[in-house]
Structure 1
Amino acid sequence: MVYLTGDTHGDIQRFKQGKLRWLGKKDTVVVLGDFGFVWDGSAAERKRLDWLRKRPYTILFLDGSHENYDLLAQYPETELFGGRVQSLGGNVYHVCRGSVLELEGKTYLCFGGAESQDKDDREPGVNWWKQEMPSDEEYDTCRRNLEKVDYKVDYVLTHDAPSRFLDFTALALGESNRLHLFLDEILLKLTYEKWFFGCYHKDVQLSTKSRCVFCDVIPMGERRTGLFR
């Protein structure tokens, strides 16, 4: 079974408590950005990451605005699940922007990144990285991958959201940035069942097809057991 959850920000308790503690080797957890376990490279952080690597289930994560992109760049890139990922060792993988993954017979467009609202108060290379916003190449990679599937996927997983979603909520204030507009662009072309995103630290169902996720753990598809009633 595939499960979604929102920003973890390096908090190991999300995995030790609640639904995630019961998952097994046939399960996959996708974190919708701001994973936070690749941040300062400290001994304590490495210990937490090693613990995650030993979980029986697979962990995939999108990047957000709170990742150390210099540390993340050190991990090797490979083809897996039908798309591009970086292997962090064990069963932990970062999903490269624009990948279309196939998980349990369903297709997932994955696109991380977001702009830090407080970036002017952060220090480049210490707690802020310009790579938080996608590059032209990453936008183009996403377009090419969507063209291969005729702009049809089962699910869309992003860290930030199209401005068309945010305009009708209290999730975000201020002007749209380039990432919002890019997500608007693909939204108009895509055929999809549901769109999930993190970033805003709220668990909010926006419509029948869009949902903001934070602490919720959402099973995708039919449940195999009665564990999560």
Structure 2
Amino acid sequence: MIYLTGDTHNDFSKLSNKSLKKHDLKLTEDDYIFVAGDFGLCWAHDKTFDWNCKWFAERSFTTLWVQGNHENYDMIAEYPLEEWHGGLVRHIVRDKVILLERGQIFKIDGHTFFTFGGAASHDIPGGALDRNDPEFELKLKERRRDWIPYRIIGESWWPQELPTEQELQTGLDNLAKADFTVDYVITHCCATDLQTAIVHYLNKPSKADVLTDYFQILEGKLHYKHWYFGHYHYYLQADEKHTVLYNDIIKLDE
């Protein structure tokens, strides 16, 4: 069986046995849970990471995820690319936590999934600061003084949150081989027009970028049953073919 949920941000309590039991979910080794970005497991090589990896290794189910914008992309890149169920992945915890790479198509439990992680950070009005910038300390002081959220390149923000041209093309090439037809799409953000409607509804800041525009193109070319994504920190059935995931764990096609 396949289940889906939204951002976890390194808080995996909703995937615990206690939480799953509370929601009457009894998962086995044949079950999968998709996390639609901002998983947060790969953030730093520390005791917390080691403990979490051991914890996931003991889960009965397998966790599948796509990248969000709050991930340590340098750390993710340390794990080698491997082929799994028809697409490229990175095994973070062998056979228990598997990153599904951008632009890939997977066949899982009889369904096909197109995956494309990443998103632009929309919660850092202070921008991403560079420690090599001669004015770094001044900029840091100003943002802290004015309580303006910021990030630091290579420490709390990575430019790889948005895809390369090659990754975008890989997605198009793989979809072309599948006649632009899959069962499901799993991403972190969504197409520009839908994002505009969602952020207006939620009264949140956001704007179009290379990835939302890419998804907008796919919306006009791709045939699919349903598109699931996270990123907006709200559970919402946007329309009959789009679901915004957050804290809830739902069954595929629920």
TM class by shorter-chain length? Answer: over 0.9
Residue aligning to 1:207: 239
* Aligned CA distance change for structure 1 residues 167 and 193 (closer, same or farther; 3 Å): same
Shift of 1:207: 0.4
Deviates more, 1:72-81 or 1:170-179: 170-179
| Residue matched to 1:13 | 13
Partner of 1:189: 221
2: CA distance between counterparts of 1:221 and 1:158? 16
Residue 196 of structure 2 contacts residue 207 of structure 2 at CA under 8 Å; is this kept in 1?
no
Q: Give the distance between the partners of 1:5 and 1:93, measured in 2 at CA.
A: 15
What's the % identity of the aligned pairs? 35
Corresponding residue for residue 98 of structure 2? 93
CA RMSD after TM alignment: 1.5
Runs (5+) with no aligned partner, structure 1: 223-229
Distance 1:125 1:105 in 2: 39
Distance in 2, matches of 1:200 and 1:96, equals 21
1:42 aligns with 2:46: yes
- Within a 5 Å distance, the mapping from 1:115-130 to structure 2 comes to 115-117=120-122, 118=124, 119-120=127-128, 121-130=150-159
| One-letter identity of the residue aligned with 1:19 | L
Residue identity in the other structure for 1:136 = E
- Give the superposition deviation at 1:57: 1.3
Unaligned runs of 5+ residues in structure 2 are: 129-149
Residue of structure 2 aligned with 1:180, choices 202, 212, 221: 212
Q: Which residue is 1:227 aligned to?
A: none
SS in 2 for 1:141: helix
* SS of residue paired to 1:167: helix
Paired residue for 2:134? Answer: none
Distance 2:59 2:207 in 1: 41
CA contact (8 A) 2:228 2:243 kept: yes
Find the counterpart in structure 1 of residue 65 from structure 2: 61
- Indicate whether 1:84 and 2:84 are aligned: no
> Are positions 1:105 and 2:106 aligned together?
no
Q: What TM-score results when the alignment is normalised by the length of structure 2?
A: 0.84
Shift of 1:187: 0.9
Provide the C-alpha distance between the structure 2 equivalents of 1:45 and 1:2, rounded to a whole number of angstroms. Answer: 25
Q: What TM-score, normalized by structure 1, do the two folds share? A: 0.92
Q: 2:249 aligns with which of 204, 217, 226?
A: 217
Spell out structure 1 runs of 4+ moving beyond 6 A. none
Q: Describe the shift of the 1:174–1:24 C-alpha distance in structure 2 as closer, same or farther (beyond 3 A).
A: closer
In 1, Cα distance between equivalents of 2:240 and 2:182: 16
- Structure 1 residue 218, shift from structure 2 partner: 1.3
User: Which is further off, 41-50 or 77-86?
Assistant: 41-50
Assess if the C-alpha contact under 8 Å between 2:56 and 2:93 holds in 1: no
Larger radius of gyration: 2
Residue 53 of structure 1 and its aligned partner are, at CA, apart by: 2.1
